[in-house]
Amino acid sequence: MNVNEIVLDILNGITETDFSKDMDEDIFTSGLVDSMATVELLLELQEKFGIDVPISEFNRDDWNTANKIIQRVESLQ
């Protein structure tokens, strides 16, 4: 699996929504991801990719779509 597939799989597991058709849908304003789901998302990304994303440095505007999440993960690898 590549980064796109893994990120989409994680998002699907957390939200039960397929983001592959709209990779720019805002996961926060849509109400699909709340604060608890955000922590779960970050923990799963850290586990799957071996990256470190401190919650204190988390900015929702940089992580609010599947495309942005993929870009951030790739930049942190």
Show the domains of the chain with their CATH numbers: 3-76 (1.10.1200.10)
Q: What are phi and psi of 35, to 5 degrees?
A: -65, -40
pTM value? 0.92
Alpha-carbon distances, residue 39 vs 4, 34, 68 (angstroms): 20, 9, 17
pLDDT at residue 3, as a whole number: 96
Quick one: average pLDDT of 51-59? Answer: 85
Contact (CB, 8 A) for 8 and 66: yes
What is the distance between the alpha carbons of residues 16 and 14, in angstroms, rounded to a whole number?
A: 6
* pLDDT band per the 50, 70, 90 thresholds, residue 59: very high
